Amino acid sequence: MSVSEPGQNLEDIGESESGENPQDTESKLNAVEPQPAGESESGENPQDTESKLNAVEPQPAGESESGENPQDTESKQNDSQPQPAGLKNKEGVKSSSQQCEQHEHKGSLTEMERFYKEKLQEARFALKQKEEELKSFKDRVAADLSLSIKTGDTESMNNPVSKTKLTEMYNKLKLLQWPKIKDHLKSNAVSREFTRDLTQKMFKDAAEEMERKKKQIDEVFGLIENSSGLTPQKVKEFRQLTIHSLQMNLYHSRKEDLLQSPFLDDGAQYSQDVMENFRLLASECYWLGCLMALNNPPLQPDWENHVPGMDAWDIFPRNIKSV
């Protein structure tokens, strides 16, 4: 090998045996030299490079970068996205249809309410008419029933002079009052026959007096029938109503006041005590005889079928009968 001589051209020195430029060779050497720690080939910071790598790495399923649920994110994106025009039109038509249905339903309810209100008013009116008719019927029946009770066609327990009440009064006279009077008369040696005849006479006189009063009433109503144009049935009812009023008047009268005329023969001579008992007996018989004679039909003791018992002083018949 030859040694270069001094003064050899520098260009010759700068070239390698391969004929390459030494600058190019240096560049190549620099390219394969290891880079200092913390720097990349491009001169970037490795931390920045790692961040970029992480940014492009795929995220785990179900999570976004912000940690939100992808479904929520998708929902928000859908909400923020503008709706298509066709969908808006469909929603508008649906809303309008619902409003129309609500309006029709409300109108149907209003019509139904009006219908039932009318039916309710009709029912109330019909009920009121029925109540008025029932009241009118009750008034008519009450008037007819009251008249029939007073005329004796129907007996009322509230009537103090009904047949039942008259029978009770007769039994009271026979079983309670008469025994007291009888004992007093017997102790004063009064005749049983005289006492019996007096008792029968009081009932007979009472019946005759009441018969006379009824004839007077008949005369008055006979004139009314001829002049008023009332039907015979109505005249009969009003006649009996008048007799019932007379009967009630006698019922509330004092028994002693009814027996004003002398009830004993002038020749009878008895003590004052006996006379008081006779008057008590006579007034009871006359008063009860008047009430019984005004009954419809008239009543009286059954004298014809009376059979005295073991006591000869049992002068009152067991029963009363219609005349």
Q: What angle do CA 220, 233, 231 make, to 5 degrees?
A: 75
Which is more confidently placed, 226 or 150? 226
SS3 label, residue 307: coil
Distance CA 288, CA 178 (A): 13
pLDDT 10s digits, 261-286: 667 765 567 888 999 999 999 999 99
Per DSSP, what are the bridge partners of residue 300? Answer: 321
Among residues 301, 91, 122, the alpha carbon closest in space to that of 202 is found at 301
pLDDT in tens, 310-323: 888 999 999 999 98
Whole-angstrom distance, CA of residue 122 vs CA of residue 128: 10
What whole-number distance in Å separates Cα of residue 161 and Cα of residue 247? 8
Reported pTM: 0.54
What does residue 197 show for φ and ψ, rounded to 5 degrees?
A: -65, -40
pLDDT tens column, 64-104: 444 555 555 554 555 455 555 555 555 555 566 677 777 67
List, as own/partner pairs, every contact residues 47-55 make where C-beta atoms lie below 8 angstroms and the sequence separation is at least 24, other chains included.
none
Which has the closest alpha carbon to 194: 128, 256, 270, 260?
A: 270
**Rounded CA gap, 162 and 299, in Å?**
11
The helix/strand count (H/E) of the chain reads as 11, 2
Q: CA Rg, the chain, in Å?
A: 69
Which tokens sit at 53?
Answer: 């790598």
Residue entry with tokens 């080939």 = 41
- Distance from chain centroid for Cα 163: 42
Q: Annotate 116-145 with b (16+ C-beta within 10 A) or e (fewer).
A: eeeeeeeeeeeeeeeeeeeeeeeeeeeeee
Highest-scoring range by mean pLDDT, 22-26, 238-242, 297-301: 297-301
